[in-house]
């Protein structure tokens, strides 16, 4: 079965729970660069983070989400990942999703590195036999050696990220969701991590990534969606520099 994501008029809204006019006004001012302020059916103040989004992502597409901070990019990624539920509309996802939004999420600081590998596998719905089959490869990739027998709370922040990255990128998924391109660890590990991420992106049927980097859009994506205040303002194919140059040449020169 081919992978796909179909959004039909989806809305994501967050209620504003404030006790005074002053605090509500402050909340509104703080959200002026984010979603739109409105009211729900009960006349309670809400922030509309995603506003009537309609799109279809299909096999082979690499979609880049762009827009200023607060435009709705991360909210959309979390909605696609199942963290947020649309309050209206319909979101249909076909295929297994892997989310790299927060690779450190779910790590238990009191559990050892090896125990955390098992815990993350269970959370991802893997059977014990499948987790055991992956554990040696994850351990080797992390380069943490005997530290994997120690509680994660004894790790440095860099060691924790290496473990989290090794676990999160060991999954096999049809749809890959990312917030920016991950860069982890020292120079040697960063090179290895970049190669692994390239492989993961290459093997995925659909990739959706939010980024502020135009170079990443040109290098990875086939489609660019611009968001502003939770609405889609542009949805266009990505034309790489070489392709753009070829299109600008006279017909006799191509």
Q: Categorize the per-residue pLDDT at 39 as very low, low, confident or very high, splitting at 50, 70 and 90.
A: low
Model pLDDT for residues 172-205, shown as the tens digit of each residue: 889 999 998 877 767 788 888 889 999 999 999 9
Residues 192 and 162 sit within 8 Å (Cβ to Cβ): no
Q: Please report which residue ranges of 12-72 form alpha helices under DSSP H.
A: 21-30
Residues 170 and 91 sit within 8 Å (Cβ to Cβ): no
Q: Which domains does the chain have, with CATH numbers?
A: 4-95+210-247 (3.40.50.300), 100-204 (3.40.50.300)
Span 211-234, average pLDDT:
95
What pLDDT shows up at residue 168?
Answer: 87
Residue with tokens 């509680």: 151
Model pLDDT for residues 104-142, shown as the tens digit of each residue: 777 899 999 999 999 988 887 788 888 888 999 999 999
Residues 175 and 186 sit within 8 Å (Cβ to Cβ): no
What pLDDT shows up at residue 177?
Answer: 95
Model pLDDT for residues 13-36, shown as the tens digit of each residue: 988 776 544 555 555 445 444 555
User: How many Cα atoms occupy the beta-carbon half-sphere of 130 within 13 Å?
Assistant: 12
Q: What is the pTM of this model?
A: 0.80
What pLDDT shows up at residue 237?
Answer: 96
Task: Using alpha carbons, list the distances in angstroms from residue 166 to 110, 121, 160, 177.
Answer: 19, 12, 10, 16
Q: What span, in angstroms and rounded, lies between the C-alpha atoms of 57 and 152?
A: 38
Span 234-246, average pLDDT:
74
């Amino acid at each position: 079965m081919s992978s796909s994501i179909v959004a039909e008029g989806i809305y994501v809204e967050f209620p504003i729970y404030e006790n005074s006019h002053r605090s509500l006004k402050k909340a509104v001012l703080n959200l002026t660069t984010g979603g739109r302020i409105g009211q729900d059916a009960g006349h309670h103040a809400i922030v509309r983070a995603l506003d009537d989004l309609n799109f279809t992502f299909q096999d082979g597409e690499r979609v880049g989400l762009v827009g200023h901070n607060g435009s709705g990019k991360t909210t959309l990624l979390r909605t696609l990942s199942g963290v947020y539920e649309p309050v209206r509309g319909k979101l249909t996802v076909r295929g297994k999703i892997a989310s790299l939004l927060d690779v450190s999420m779910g790590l238990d600081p009191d559990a050892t590195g090896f125990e955390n590998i098992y815990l993350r596998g269970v959370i991802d719905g893997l059977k014990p036999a499948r987790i055991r089959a992956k554990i040696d490869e994850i351990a080797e990739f992390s380069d943490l050696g005997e530290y994997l027998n120690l509680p994660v709370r004894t790790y440095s922040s860099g060691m924790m990220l290496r473990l989290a990255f090794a676990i999160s990128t060991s999954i096999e998924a049809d749809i890959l969701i990312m917030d920016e391109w991950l860069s982890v660890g020292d120079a040697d590990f960063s090179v290895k991590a970049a190669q692994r991420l390239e492989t993961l992106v290459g093997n995925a049927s659909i990739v959706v990534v939010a980024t502020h980097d135009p170079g990443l859009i040109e290098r990875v994506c086939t489609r660019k969606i611009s968001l502003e205040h939770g609405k889609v303002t542009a949805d266009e194919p990505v034309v790489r520099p070489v392709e753009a140059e070829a299109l600008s040449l006279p017909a006799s020169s191509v």
